[in-house]
Amino acid sequence: MSNSLSKFSSFFNKKYYIIFILFVIQASIYSEDTVESNKEYLNGNKNYIDEKRDNFYKSERAGKKIEPDFIKNGREEKFLLLGVSAGSPGSLNLNAGYYFDRFVVRGSGMYYKPNWNGLQFDLGYSIYKTSHVIFGFSLVAGGFHVNPFDPQTGAGGQNKYDRFDFPGYQNQPSTLTDQIIRANIASTNPDLALALDYLYRTRQEANFSQNYLGGAFDFYLDGFWVQLGMGVGRGDYRNPQLLFQVGYLFDFGRKDK
């Protein structure tokens, strides 16, 4: 009985020893095939790999950040944005901008009538730009004319306004000099004073204008566009003035959608 067990054990060990030897031989053959396959791949793509390696070392020496291709493509393209926006300078504006790589030239504004219109020009730079998102900063220059009804001094940002050309009725609010002139007119010609008070009453339209220079941040996301900044200039309004636009722009000529 013991001899039978011994023979069985010897046969069992030899069987697994043979299986182990075959496994090692197969693994060695597979490893050699894999190495040969990798060598063929590297040799076939040597030029591509060399180009990528050279670009990496050049970027490292120049201190530049290596970016994905879709970001590079988004920055290099040139395209046009057209749409509408609400806000400065003309209340409801037509908006057109053209991108040259990272730079943009933009114009916005609207003409409604001689006393209600506005125009603004931007020269901007894209700090971050992909096929869907653009964030940048712009230098802006513009001007506008408005004629609101019965404006309250200071409520809309204006210090004062000069509405009339008749002495004593040139300023709103009236000055001490205006009050003296009006009192003299009333004492000498009450009918004329009554007519002037009606003609130059406050409850009517007033003409305001402003020219400005400033800076603004721009944000674009798949058509939605907003601009926020500050400006200073000359006119009927206090410095600085808030510059704000929000709207929707359609793109023409983009490579990456």
113: β partners: 116
Q: What is the pTM of this model?
A: 0.58
CA 22/CA 20 separation, integer angstroms:
5
Percent of the chain with pLDDT strictly greater than 70: 60
- pLDDT value at 10 more than 90: no
Q: pLDDT tens, 120-136?
A: 999 999 999 888 899 99
Q: How confident is the model at residue 69 (pLDDT cuts 50, 70, 90)?
A: very low
> Which residues, at least 6 apart from 252, have a Cβ–Cβ distance to it below 8 Å?
79, 80, 81, 82
CA atoms within 13 A on the CB side of 250: 5
Mean pLDDT across the chain, nearest whole number?
A: 76
- Residue of 95, 96, 211, 87 whose CA lies nearest to 144: 211
Please state the rounded mean pLDDT for residues 108-119.
93
Architecture of the structural domain at 78-147+207-252: Beta Barrel (2.40)
Q: How confident is the model at residue 254 (pLDDT cuts 50, 70, 90)?
A: confident
pLDDT of res. 169:
72
Q: Is the dihedral of CA 163, 165, 171, 172 positive or negative?
A: negative
Domain borders along the chain are 2-66, 78-147+207-252, 161-199
pLDDT of res. 73:
46
